[in-house]
Structure 1
Amino acid sequence: MSLLALSLLALATAPLARAHGGLANYTVGDPPVWYRGYDPDENATEQDGQSWMVQRKWASIDPIFSATDPYIACNKPGTPGPAYIPIEAGQNLTAVYWYWLHPVGPMTAWLAACPPLSEGGCVGVDVNKLDWFKIWEAGLIPGTGNLAEGIWYQKQFQNWDGSPDLWPVTIPATLKAGLYVVRHEILSIHIENKPQFYPECAHLNITGPGTDLPPSSFYKKFPGAYDPDDPSLKIDIYSDSMRKTYYGQDHPSTSIA
């Protein structure tokens, strides 16, 4: 077993690692440096505003049900923590889920640039006004079958042996250094016509010599990135008419990965 796996397995047995469906922690590097996220199962007064809090508050494991809900950006209530995860462009940021149940639907990771600290950084931004760009996505794994019977990445990243579910995403190597909000989203489509959005956000301090940002055509707003009438959201994956290959490329033109 790798050092990364051993370290995370040890974290899985720690008192803070209570299992629930959501993004609980982040790691950077190998051996991993661990950053604690918000835990709705723990006492809020011991987490809100703490100097170590890198994640925006999500108070429930319940999903966002509407593509037009303002909380689709960073979950509810989305209150910012004051801290930032330091990471170099080109490194992996691993999202740690201690438990994930649903098996069907795409997963995406997004970034949005924030002003410098002197202008409030990510703490002072309105996440609904940020320009988000996609850096990672995965849906139905090619060659595994149709919508209903195929294997989705959402299912592949699950573990049922008590170890954490790990979602590594590489920060683009040439990305411009600065402060960013990172947004991980799991979209579950296992219930007909009732998409379930599970977003969580954290703050990053990205370093490196890069100067790149995507062109404006890549940017999306939340809400606004998804059309609530999009057939890929209003979908019955078990109907005969929908039993076809689907790769979860909901907005491929917005990804710089």
Structure 2
Amino acid sequence: MAVMIVPLLLAALAVSLWSGPVVAHGGLSNYTVGETWYRGYSPDTPASEQIGQSWMVQRPWASIDPIFSVDDKYLACNNPGTPPTSYIPIQAGENITAVYYYWLHPVGPMSVWLSSCGDADCRDVDVNKAEWFKIWEAGLLDGPNLAEGVWYQKAFQNWDGTPDLWPVTIPASLRPGAYMIRHEILSIHIENKPQFYPECAHLNITGTGTAFPPKQYLKTFPGAYDPNDPSININIYSPENANTTKYIIPGGPVWDGFTVVDKYCLGC
């Protein structure tokens, strides 16, 4: 499993080279684990210079435009989402940080998912048939209502020219193996017109854990989301939402290492 490893001090140079002008939206550009930086895909660079390269760890995404339908096959890993060449090595219990050079939207939930490739090479796995489980999520953090409150999506933005960083911990008890990681931002700032921004990479997870989520945590994309889910098709500016801070992040609960006892369903 070949990887391109670059010291973090070169990341500053990468920002200046690849950040480019802010046009709209944004996307996941790079990953860091500890002091090591891994280059991701850039829609602004010719695909021929990236796809098939030994350093590529991310499934390509052709543009910064969103996906609008929960039934879109590209909801799993974006378009075209073809397999990369390499894996990011990481130990269960370590942080992986997603790097965005800009992100413009302020409203909506963010989530991170994993999918085990089992005994297969992740390059041979159909992302639409893969079973994904959520390991992290964040939504509304504070505020008077859904429209005026501070969401994690806004809190992670930087407007000083530095990258937007999204750190997440791989569950320490997770059994080792080849996995795909999926970051998703769901923007709900336009009435009843959700915008999904998913990106995926391949991980080689090591460790001594044996845990794996029960069946009820496993989802497919498409399939994980109900098109009629009020958390997806929502008007945050409507009168009924003017005095509420209640928002249920779609996709079910987060699995953080529990296997036998479901901490979200104690006593049920």
Please say whether Structure 1 and Structure 2 have the same fold, judged by a TM-score greater than 0.5.
yes
- In the alignment, the residues of structure 1 paired with residue 162 and residue 107 of structure 2 have an alpha-carbon distance, to the nearest angstrom, of 20
* Runs of 5+ unmatched residues, structure 1: none
- In the alignment, the residues of structure 2 paired with residue 238 and residue 6 of structure 1 have an alpha-carbon distance, to the nearest angstrom, of 43
- In the alignment, the residues of structure 2 paired with residue 248 and residue 95 of structure 1 have an alpha-carbon distance, to the nearest angstrom, of 24
Contact 1:129 1:221 in 2 (8 A): yes
Contact 2:137 2:254 in 1 (8 A): no
Q: Which amino acid aligns with 1:27?
A: T
Aligned partner of 2:253 in structure 1 is 253
Aligned partner of 2:181 in structure 1 is 182
Q: How does 1:207-218 map to 2 (within 5 A)?
A: 207-218=206-217
Question: Per-residue deviation at 1:234?
Answer: 1.1
Aligned partner of 1:101 in structure 2 is 104
Figure out how many residues of one structure are paired with residues of the other and give that number: 247
Aligned-CA RMSD value:
1.7
- In the alignment, the residues of structure 2 paired with residue 156 and residue 34 of structure 1 have an alpha-carbon distance, to the nearest angstrom, of 23
Contact 1:145 1:151 in 2 (8 A): no
Contact 1:140 1:248 in 2 (8 A): no
Is 1:170 matched with 2:169?
yes
- In the alignment, the residues of structure 1 paired with residue 59 and residue 158 of structure 2 have an alpha-carbon distance, to the nearest angstrom, of 25
Question: Per-residue deviation at 1:251?
Answer: 3.4
Task: Report the TM-score, using the length of structure 2 for normalisation.
Answer: 0.88
Is 1:47 matched with 2:60?
no
Question: Per-residue deviation at 1:248?
Answer: 4.3
- In the alignment, the residues of structure 1 paired with residue 132 and residue 140 of structure 2 have an alpha-carbon distance, to the nearest angstrom, of 23
Question: Per-residue deviation at 1:249?
Answer: 2.7
Equivalent position SS for 1:183: strand
- In the alignment, the residues of structure 2 paired with residue 160 and residue 248 of structure 1 have an alpha-carbon distance, to the nearest angstrom, of 28
Deviations 1:147-175 (A, max 9, x none): 00000000000000100000000000010
Question: Per-residue deviation at 1:247?
Answer: 4.0
- In the alignment, the residues of structure 1 paired with residue 9 and residue 51 of structure 2 have an alpha-carbon distance, to the nearest angstrom, of 30
- In the alignment, the residues of structure 2 paired with residue 192 and residue 176 of structure 1 have an alpha-carbon distance, to the nearest angstrom, of 41
Aligned partner of 1:24 in structure 2 is 29
Contact 2:231 2:249 in 1 (8 A): no
- In the alignment, the residues of structure 2 paired with residue 144 and residue 242 of structure 1 have an alpha-carbon distance, to the nearest angstrom, of 13
Contact 2:8 2:37 in 1 (8 A): no
Q: 1:8 to 1:240 in 2, by over 3 A?
A: farther
Question: Per-residue deviation at 1:10?
Answer: 4.7
Q: Which amino acid aligns with 1:111?
A: L
- In the alignment, the residues of structure 2 paired with residue 82 and residue 123 of structure 1 have an alpha-carbon distance, to the nearest angstrom, of 8
Task: Report the TM-score, using the length of structure 1 for normalisation.
Answer: 0.91
**1:62 aligns with one of 65, 68, 89:** 65
Q: 1:232 to 1:125 in 2, by over 3 A?
A: same
Aligned partner of 2:81 in structure 1 is 78
Contact 1:133 1:256 in 2 (8 A): no
Deviations 1:18-47 (A, max 9, x none): 466100000001xx2000000000011100
- In the alignment, the residues of structure 2 paired with residue 6 and residue 139 of structure 1 have an alpha-carbon distance, to the nearest angstrom, of 31
Q: How does 1:127-146 map to 2 (within 5 A)?
A: 127-141=127-141, 143-146=142-145
* Runs of 5+ unmatched residues, structure 2: 1-6, 258-268
- In the alignment, the residues of structure 2 paired with residue 38 and residue 96 of structure 1 have an alpha-carbon distance, to the nearest angstrom, of 12
Deviations 1:127-157 (A, max 9, x none): 000110000000000x422100000000000
Q: 1:36 to 1:248 in 2, by over 3 A?
A: farther
- In the alignment, the residues of structure 2 paired with residue 132 and residue 202 of structure 1 have an alpha-carbon distance, to the nearest angstrom, of 13
- In the alignment, the residues of structure 1 paired with residue 111 and residue 90 of structure 2 have an alpha-carbon distance, to the nearest angstrom, of 19
- In the alignment, the residues of structure 2 paired with residue 23 and residue 35 of structure 1 have an alpha-carbon distance, to the nearest angstrom, of 12
Contact 1:217 1:254 in 2 (8 A): no
Question: Per-residue deviation at 1:225?
Answer: 0.5
- In the alignment, the residues of structure 2 paired with residue 129 and residue 17 of structure 1 have an alpha-carbon distance, to the nearest angstrom, of 34
Aligned partner of 2:115 in structure 1 is 112
Equivalent position SS for 2:153: helix
- In the alignment, the residues of structure 1 paired with residue 176 and residue 103 of structure 2 have an alpha-carbon distance, to the nearest angstrom, of 32
